[in-house]
Amino acid sequence: MKKRVLVLNCGSLAGTDVNTALKFNDEFEVWGASIYKNHGIYVYKNYIEDIPNIKDKNFIKILNEKIQEYDIKFIFSTHEDMVLFLQEHKKEINAVIVSSNYDTALLCRYKSKTYEKMKEYNFIPKTYKKEEVKEFPVFVKKDTDQGGRHAHKVENQKELDLYAEDEDMIICEYLPGEEVTVDCFTNKNRELLFCNPRAADRMLAGIDVHARRIELSKEIKYIADSLNKEIEFRGFWFFQIKKDVDGKYKLLEISTRLPGAFSLSRCLDVNLPLMALKDFDGQDVKLTFNDINIEADKQFFGKYSLGLEYDTVYIDFETCFESKEKVDTFLMMFLYQCVNKNIKINLLLQSDNLKVLDKNKISRNLFDEIIEIERKDIKNILEKKSILISNDEDLKNEIREKNKYNCFSTSIIESLIDWRA
C-alpha cells in the first residue's frame, strides 16, 4: 500500500506543484487540504475538507482525526507559519512533519534571528537602528514577511519615519542588484546534495513568473555551504540573495518550505518533495539531474469544474480529425482521460475514410464505436448522459436548441480536462 502524504495549504502554487511531482508516484500517495476551498480542489484527486486554521484551539485534535481517518503518514506545509506551528507541536501530531526542525524554522522565520546567527559572514547585509541612518536610500522590511511584502525602498527621513515606526521593521542597506533564489536540499546526514540558483526576471504577487537557471558560482556555493554548516536543515529549503552596490551577493532571507517556483528545479528532474519523503522515511537519497540551461514562464491557466456528468463522448470525425493538419494534443489528452474514467468514446463520420487516423498514429481501438452517419441524423443518436465534440457551429446550435445536449468545440477542450485525474 502506498504511504500517504498530506499537503496543507495545497492550493498555493507550491502546493499544486507538489501534486504534480507526486501524483504518479508508486510509493507515496498525495492528499491535499486547505482551511478554505481554493485551487487545490481543482488539482487534487484526493482532497480533505474541514481542516481549521492553526489558530483554532481544536486544530491539532481535528488534524489527528483526519490523520487517523485517512491513514496519513507524512505532512507537508507550503507556508512558513504552518511549518513553524507543526514543528512546535510535532510531538502532539500523529504523522511525520517533513521539514527542518523547530529551531531552524524559528530562526528562518525571523530575518533578525537569521542575521544575528550569521553575523560573522560577509554576505549578511548591514542593518541599522533608526537613529543610525545618515545616508539614503536604505531598505525597510518586516521581520517576518516574505516575498517582498511590507518592503520599501526609503529615499529620505520622512519616508523612514513613516515605514520604520513599526518595531517589527528591519532597516537594511539598499541592495540595487540582481535578485536570485537558490533551491537547496540537505539530507538526514546534513549533506547539501542540491543547490540550484535561479534569477527572477519578472515577479507577480511575490512569485517568479519568469525565472531562469543561472550558474552556480563559487560565491553562491559558499553562501549555501555556510548556511548549511551553521544551520540544521533537513529536506528542501531555499534562500534569497541580492547584489549590493559593489556587485556582491547579500542574504535577504531563508525559508524551510518549498519555494513557489520550485518547478524550475523539478524540470531538471530534481523531485524535491519526493526526495524529502524518502529522506524522512529513512531511505538514502541519491541525486543526479539534467544539467541544462532552463527558463520558466508562468501565466494564469484556467482549471474548470462544469458540474456535468456524462458517460459517453461523441466525436465529429470530419471537423475534429480529418480537417486538421496536426494532431490536437489537448483533444488526445481528453480522450485518454475518458479511457481512464471508463467513459465511452464514439467516433461519428460520414464515410469510412480513416486514413488520417493511421497517418497520425491514432489507434482505431481508442474508440468504442465507429459510427457511419449523416450529419443531419447525429442529433437522433445522442443520449442524455452524452456530450458532442464538434467544430461544426450549425450542428452544435441545432443540437443545443432542439435536443438540449451539451456540445464542445476543440477550442474549449481544456474545460473538460480533469487535472485531478
Per residue of the chain (421 residues), give pLDDT as tens: 899 999 999 999 899 999 999 999 999 999 999 988 889 999 999 999 889 999 999 999 999 999 999 999 999 999 999 999 999 999 999 999 999 999 999 999 999 999 999 999 999 999 999 999 999 999 999 998 765 666 889 999 998 988 887 778 999 999 999 999 999 999 999 999 999 999 988 777 667 778 899 999 999 999 999 999 999 999 999 999 999 999 999 999 999 998 878 888 999 999 999 999 999 999 999 999 999 999 988 877 788 999 899 999 999 999 999 988 899 999 999 999 999 999 999 999 988 788 899 999 999 999 999 999 999 999 899 988 999 999 999 999 999 998 888 999 999 999 999 998 6
348 DSSP β-pair partners? 316, 371
Homologous superfamily, domain 108-113+176-294 = ATP-grasp fold, B domain (3.30.470.20)
Instruction: Name the helix (H) or strand (E) containing 14.
Output: helix 13-22
- Return all residues near 120 (Cβ < 8 A) that are at least 6 apart: none
> Under CATH, what is the fold of the domain 312-416?
Rossmann fold (3.40.50)
CATH class held by domain 3-98: alpha beta
Buried b vs exposed e over 105-117: b needs ≥16 C-beta within 10 Å? bebbbbbeebbeb
Q: In the chain, where does the domain assigned CATH 3.40.50.20 lie? A: 3-98
Q: How many CA atoms lie within 13 A of 94 on its CB side?
A: 14
Q: In the chain, where does the domain assigned CATH 3.40.50.1000 lie? A: 312-416
- State the pLDDT at residue 362: 95
Q: In the chain, where does the domain assigned CATH 3.30.470.20 lie? A: 108-113+176-294
